[in-house]
Amino acid sequence: MWFALFILALAAAIGIHFWWRASFQARQRQARADIETFQRRQQQTTIDAKAQQQVLFNSMLEGLLLLDRNQRIYLANRAFKSLFAIQAELRGKTIMEALRIHELAELVRRVENEGQVFDYEVQLARLTERRLQVNAAAIRNSAGEREGTILVFHDLTRLKKLERTREEFVANVSHELRTPLSLIKGYVETLLDGARNNPETLERFLKIIERNAQRLDLLIQDLLTISALESGRVTLELHTVDLRALVEKVFNDFRQAASGKGVSLINQMPELTVNADVHRLEQVFANLLDNAIKYGRANGEVTVGAKQAGGSVEVFVRDNGPGIPPESLDRVFERFYRVDKARSREQGGTGLGLSIVKHIVQAHGGDVRVESTLGQGAIFSFTLPVMANKG
Ligand code: ADP
């Protein structure tokens, strides 16, 4: 009896032992699996964070350079590489090894002493004259120890170019305004000094004054138009425009100027309608026609017509005057550009007419171009989206 009980107890103990061992091993396996899952997740989180960081750095418009505590490159984003036109791997290199720019190496040394340097400008003459602004700062850990350096590069090239264009524009405008103004001033002074006593001189001088005052007025009008068009403040009022009728209307306005020079105006415009701002389009025709008469030859011809190609209409204004030299063809649409300055001024030109034409056509979604053979005339063409063909 006691023996049987002993055997039973022993069997139970052995059973419990194996059950406990099996469940202990299962718990251990589970714990290991849990640890592995946790480690995998952590690794994934680190990889995700790094990938996110990389995406973030690479999406920045500014060039970013991170240096470690030994001043070696730890990270250079995509914008940085494109600013410096570098494809090679930069990790681990010093600034001098990677870029060979003493000024930047010097800047990093300054950051070491000063903690940060803002608004530092570098000119990269080697690389298409780029101008960069650099902001640099030391990176410190929570204990205040230096961990590295961060440098942010901002491309100022476009901004500087815009600034130069603006300065040139202001200088041009001042010059254009000053010329008629000083003429007016000069003639008024001469009249006041006694020239007014001669009726013939008085009449002649007053006419010069009147012409220059008109030129000033025209220049100011053109300047206001250009500034409105360039700032995008102009909203087009699009309506159906009958091109042939519009050309006829503009011809009527120029009939006198044309006949004064013996120029024939020929309307070859087919029956076409476009979706356009009629007043702006009238200005385009007026500027091109004015030029064709002004710069065309005496007793010549000015023809306006169009052809339809696909979804757009190509309008042309053609003269048979002296034409435009090839080296000026690309430049005539620039503000204040003139092939012959004296001739343009003498004709009362502002140098802004074709620039206004270009802006208006582009605002309609079209394009302008010019072709010319010296001695045979010039053809100015522009495209417009077509609406319907009545002819
Ligand atoms: P402007 O007020 O001087 O006429 P535009 O911008 O209208 O200014 O024209 C720029 C320059 O292009 C003119 O000064 C002239 O030299 C040249 N030009 C324009 N149209 C013609 C043309 N039909 N034939 C020859 N030259 C032209």
Residues within a 6 A CB radius of ligand 1:
287, 291-292, 295-296, 319, 321, 324, 332, 337-340, 344, 349-355, 378
Please state, in angstroms and as integers, the Cα–Cα distance from residue 236 to each residue in 181, 322, 356, following that order.
34, 35, 14
237 and 277 in contact (C-beta within 8 Å)? yes
Q: Supply 285's token pair.
A: 């025709």
Segment (H or E) for 118: strand 116-124
CA of 256 to the centre of ligand 1 (A): 20
Q: Domain 237-391: state its class.
A: alpha beta
Fold held by 158-233: Helix Hairpins (1.10.287)
pLDDT band for position 34 (50/70/90)?
confident
pLDDT of residue 18: 77
CA of 339 to the centre of ligand 1 (A): 7
Other C-beta atoms within 10 Å of 243: how many? 24
The predicted model gives 176-191 an average pLDDT of: 94
321 and 300 in contact (C-beta within 8 Å)? yes
Q: Where in the chain is the domain with CATH 3.30.450.20?
A: 60-155
Q: Which atom of ligand 1 is nearest to the CA of 352?
A: 6
The predicted model gives 307-318 an average pLDDT of: 92
Q: Where in the chain is the domain with CATH 3.30.565.10?
A: 237-391
Closest-CA residue, ligand 1 atom 4, reads: 349
pLDDT band for position 187 (50/70/90)?
very high
74 and 94 in contact (C-beta within 8 Å)? no
Q: Supply 249's token pair.
A: 């209307």
CA of 294 to the centre of ligand 1 (A): 8
Choice from 293, 295, 330 to test ligand 1 binding pocket (greatest atom count within 8 A of CB)? 295
How many residues would you count in the chain? Answer: 391
Q: Average model confidence (pLDDT) for the chain?
A: 90
pLDDT digits (tens, 9 = 90+) for 273-300: 999 999 999 999 999 999 999 999 999 9
CA of 381 to the centre of ligand 1 (A): 14
Q: Among 3.30.450.20, 3.20.20.140, 3.40.50.2300, 3.30.365.10, name the CATH number for the domain at 60-155.
A: 3.30.450.20
pTM over 0.75: no
* Residues in Cβ contact with 389 at an 8 Å cutoff, skipping those fewer than 6 apart: 271, 272, 273, 308
136 and 128 in contact (C-beta within 8 Å)? no
Choice from 176, 338, 357, 372 to test ligand 1 binding pocket (greatest atom count within 8 A of CB)? 338
d(CA 213, CA 219) in angstroms, rounded, equals 10
92 and 73 in contact (C-beta within 8 Å)? yes
DSSP β-bridge partners for residue 59: none
Q: Which atom of ligand 1 is nearest to the CA of 339?
A: 16
